[in-house]
Amino acid sequence: MPHTIKAQRSVTIKDVARKAGTSIATVSYVFSNAERNIRPELRQRVLQAATEIGYVKNAAASSMKGKPRGILAVVVAQFGNTFFTRMCVEIVSIARQAGYVVTLCNSDEDPDQERIILKRLVAQRIDGCILCPAMSREENTGLLKKYRIPYVILERSFPESTTAHNFVGQDNYQSGYLATRHLLDAGHRRIAFSGWDSPIPNVCERVNGYQAALREFGVPAEQELVLTDEMSEAAGRRMAAKLLESKMTAAVLGHHETAKGALLYFQDKGIRWPDDLSLVVIGTPEWAGVLLPRITCIQRPEHAMAVAAAELLLDAIKQPDISAAQHVFLSTVSEGDSVLKR
């Protein structure tokens, strides 16, 4: 005969009162640390009873009364992207020090999935949310606004928005410019750009930065080469093949995932950097540190961004009526040995 599983009833405040031999009101005063004249021995008896029968305070019920639950959420668009996972680690650490636990969610660049996630988080009465919006779309923030949940937008800005947001991000334009400028300063003029053919506006700003640097050095538009494809290792290999055919002397690899494929392709074909091709990668993927010669990278400020986002959210929770703030961080060059001076 098949067994049926009987759901175990949650222990309630009424059970604690019965175990302690006191009233429900007294137990409630003890758990809420209310300023009531409760004898120390009675308080201890209530706490002991709760421990013995396994009572856990209902945080959801407390939040219905306007009390914080101590839960934050971080929703990112690409959990497999180390840029976001590194920031999540920092945010969790800061939140923990402030007495919060963090729920981590991944929308996988799907706005519909993001909306489902946010609906469930709202139902759980989270105290605040850090959101990297899928495809850089704004509409799902309406759920957070409707229920007055403080939030911070991370990395993905809304260029055409008329609403002020708490925002923390990186200057992608500057990353593209800085990477190209580094190669230009080394004497290169035939420089290619390869990266993700992204629908996300601020990611595409890397190409604009690349082109601006070339114009600044008088490199004509017909000498530039922009290669974009899907975000995958295979795409990186395809673009690397086209890059070698172009006879460029240097390249900006604009996304770590496609850069990985490109570098593997170069190795397979016996292309040596910087002797045969000078390279700068935007981002600092984990594998960058194990390659020889060392790759010059554009360091993205994950730590500073994570700290700013976490602190901005905690401030917004404490003072929900303060004006929205913005923090945009600049990148720096992490010198390697992949650029040959000409």
Partner residues linked to 328 by β-bridges: 169
Are 127 and 165 part of one and the same domain?
A: yes
- Chain centre distance of CA 91: 9
Q: Is 5 part of any domain?
A: no
Do residues 112 and 140 both lie within one domain?
A: yes
Q: Name residues of the chain where pLDDT drops below 50.
A: 1-8, 59-60, 63-65
Domain of 87, CATH number, reads: 3.40.50.2300
pLDDT at site 3: 39
6 is a domain residue:
no
Are residues 18 and 98 part of one domain?
no
Of the candidates 171, 255, 176, 183, the residue with the CA atom closest to the CA atom of residue 219: 183
Inter-residue contact 318 to 333 (CB < 8 Å): no
**Nearest alpha carbon to residue 120 among 132, 133, 129:** 129
3-state DSSP assignment of residue 276: coil
Shared domain check, 182 and 296 = yes
Strands, E assignment, the chain: 71-76, 101-106, 128-131, 151-154, 167-170, 191-196, 225-229, 250-253, 278-282, 296-299, 326-329, 332-334
Write down the pLDDT at residue 29.
82
> Would you say residue 340 lies in a domain?
no
Q: Which CATH number goes with the domain that contains 41?
A: 1.10.260.40
Judge if 132 and 78 occupy the same domain: yes
Do 102 and 199 lie in one domain? The reply is: no
pLDDT for 36: 67
Shared domain check, 261 and 119 = no
Specify whether 176 is located in the same domain as 296. yes
The phi and psi torsions of 21 (rounded to 5 degrees) equal 70, 40
Q: State the residue range of the domain holding 120.
A: 71-171+303-330
197 shares its domain with 142: no
Q: Which H or E run contains 339?
A: none
Domain assignment present for residue 63? The answer is: no
Q: What is the DSSP string of 136-199?
A: G--TTHHHHHHTT--EEEES---TT--S---EEEE-HHHHHHHHHHHHHHTT---EEEEEE--S
pLDDT at 66: 53
pLDDT digits (tens, 9 = 90+) for 71-98: 999 999 988 888 899 999 999 999 999 9
Domain-located, residue 32: yes
104, part of any domain: yes
Indicate whether 126 and 183 sit together in one domain.
no
Same domain, 119 and 97: yes
Asked if residue 90 and residue 178 are part of one domain, the reply reads: no
- Please state the domain count of the chain: 3
